Amino acid sequence: MTLLGAAQIRELAAQLDLKPSKSLGQNFVIDSNVCTKIVRTAGVTKDDIALEIGPGLGSLTLAMLEAAQSVIAVEIDPRLAEQLPITVAQHFAHPENLTVINKDALAVHDLSVAPTVLVANLPYNVSVPVLLHLLEKFPSIRTGVVMVQAEVADRLAAKPGGKEYGIPSVKAAWWAEVKNAGTVSRSIFWPAPNVDSKLVGFTRRQTAGSEEMREKVFTIIDAAFAQRRKMLRSALSSLYGSSSAAEEILIKASIDPTLRGEALEVKSFCQIAAVAPDIF
Ligand code: SAM
């Protein structure tokens, strides 16, 4: 197996006459050591069926094929999706271990084989929705490592109390234990992005309730952070009709109504949902 370096990536892009698209977040990794490190950080083994979103020109895909039993790669750009099996066949002895799906990751709702691990250099403009979507739709994903914009990584891994803590932090925490897993230099990409990147690792946890409960909890989270400077009794007033109705629910849930959403961990949002009326 030979992994792709800067020269091969540029050659492939020239061959495809590819002008990297900003809106699709096309910044390709040109340092194979980084790809190996990401796969190692994710702890991928030969028992794993790895899911990759946005394989691009295949740098990370090849590193993953070496470590995993098989890889499912979901790529929105048809030129890249078409080229990937060709590149893999040129560099890897078992190209049959790769399945490429030419689709928007947000439109993937089922797969013929259940993935066990997610490893991806995510397209930055949709990284949070894609991550939450996959955690929801594929409970077989137990663990993973994704590369995202540094600020987004900090938000995903944030704990209550800080300015980074918000909707992505609490919703991700519903599904998984999320941690920062290291920084990545801009120089390992072509083209180099205008933002810094970080790795985020996650391990799925037992969720605190049913799908119905999750929807209720997520609605409360959205309302609490829509006006994050407001106290909860006021931020939740639009959901429950008035701030006194919201206050009553919060007291019943043993949550101080004068707190802000940013003070609550996901468990506390569950306490609110457990005593709140259905609002659908
Ligand atoms: N994995 C490659 C690498 O590390 O070099 C490319 C990563 S690049 C940051 C993001 C990739 O995601 C691009 O190949 C882009 O075409 C693809 N992409 C963008 N939006 C997508 C979406 N909604 N669903 C699936 N793939 C998407």
- Residue 222, C-beta contacts closer than 8 angstroms, at least 6 positions apart: 167
- Percent of the chain at pLDDT exceeding 70: 99
Q: Are residues 46 and 103 in the same domain?
A: yes
Is residue 10 in some structural domain?
yes
* Rg (alpha carbons) of the chain, rounded to whole number: 21
At 227, the pLDDT band (50, 70, 90 cuts) reads confident
Question: What average pLDDT does the segment 238-267 reach?
Answer: 96
Taking the CA atoms of residue 167, residue 172, residue 174 and residue 175 in that order, the dihedral angle to the nearest 10 degrees is 160
Is residue 250 in some structural domain?
yes
Is residue 280 in some structural domain?
no
At 190, the pLDDT band (50, 70, 90 cuts) reads very high
At 185, the pLDDT band (50, 70, 90 cuts) reads very high
> Does residue 248 sit in helix, strand or coil?
helix
**Cα–Cα distance measured from residue 55 to residue 24, given in angstroms and rounded to the nearest whole number:** 12
- Residue 167, C-beta contacts closer than 8 angstroms, at least 6 positions apart: 221, 222, 225
Q: Which residue has the higher pLDDT, 280 or 162?
A: 162
Is residue 236 in some structural domain?
yes
Atom 21 in ligand 1: which residue has the minimum CA distance?
A: 76
**Cα–Cα distance measured from residue 178 to residue 173, given in angstroms and rounded to the nearest whole number:** 7
Q: Are residues 49 and 112 in the same domain?
A: yes
Ligand 1 pocket test target in 3, 28, 109 with most atoms within 8 Å of CB? 28
Ligand 1 pocket test target in 53, 108, 131 with most atoms within 8 Å of CB? 53
Q: Are residues 160 and 41 in the same domain?
A: yes
Identify the bridge partners of residue 127 per DSSP, sorted by sequence position: none
CB atoms under 10 Å from CB of 119, counted, come to 29
Least confident of 60-64, 115-119, 182-186, 208-212: 208-212
Is residue 1 in some structural domain?
no
Q: What is the CATH number of the domain that holds 225?
A: 1.10.8.100
Question: What average pLDDT does the segment 209-231 reach?
Answer: 93
Determine whether the shortest distance from the Cβ of 56 to ligand 1 is under 6 A.
yes
Closest ligand 1 atom to residue 105 Cα is: 24
- Residue 280, C-beta contacts closer than 8 angstroms, at least 6 positions apart: 215
Closest ligand 1 atom to residue 77 Cα is: 16
Structure confidence at residue 68 (pLDDT): 98
**Of 183, 204, 225, which marks where a domain is finished?**
204
Q: Are residues 155 and 88 in the same domain?
A: yes
Q: Are residues 183 and 45 in the same domain?
A: yes
pLDDT at 279 over 90: no
Q: Are residues 72 and 34 in the same domain?
A: yes
Determine whether the shortest distance from the Cβ of 29 to ligand 1 is under 6 A.
yes
**Of 176, 204, 232, which marks where a domain is finished?**
204
pLDDT at 207 over 90: no
Q: Are residues 175 and 240 in the same domain?
A: no
Q: Are residues 220 and 193 in the same domain?
A: no
Question: What average pLDDT does the segment 143-150 reach?
Answer: 98
Range of the domain at 243: 211-275
Are the CB atoms for 144 and 54 separated by under 8 Å? no
Taking the CA atoms of residue 169, residue 172, residue 177 and residue 182 in that order, the dihedral angle to the nearest 10 degrees is -70
In degrees rounded to 5, what are phi and psi of residue 48? Answer: -90, 140
Least confident of 2-16, 171-185, 247-261: 2-16
Task: Name the average pLDDT for the chain.
Answer: 95
Structure confidence at residue 160 (pLDDT): 96
**What is the tally of structural domains in the chain?**
2
Q: What is the CATH number of the domain that holds 96?
A: 3.40.50.150
Q: Are residues 68 and 112 in the same domain?
A: yes
Q: What is the DSSP string of 54-66?
A: --TTSHHHHHHHH
Q: Are residues 33 and 137 in the same domain?
A: yes
**Of 158, 184, 204, which marks where a domain is finished?**
204
3 state SS for 2-41: CCCCHHHHHHHHHHHCCCCCCCCCCCEECCHHHHHHHHHH
pLDDT at 280 over 60: no
Are the CB atoms for 49 and 144 separated by under 8 Å? no
Whole-number Å distance, alpha carbon 25 to ligand 1 midpoint, is 6
pLDDT at 173 over 80: yes
Question: What average pLDDT does the segment 66-72 reach?
Answer: 98
Is residue 49 in some structural domain?
yes
Ligand 1 pocket test target in 77, 87, 88, 131 with most atoms within 8 Å of CB? 77
Q: Are residues 191 and 152 in the same domain?
A: yes
**Cα–Cα distance measured from residue 26 to residue 76, given in angstroms and rounded to the nearest whole number:** 11
Question: What average pLDDT does the segment 32-41 reach?
Answer: 96
Residue-wise pLDDT for 77-124, tens only, equals 999 999 999 999 999 999 999 999 999 999 999 999 999 999 999 999
Q: Are residues 192 and 236 in the same domain?
A: no
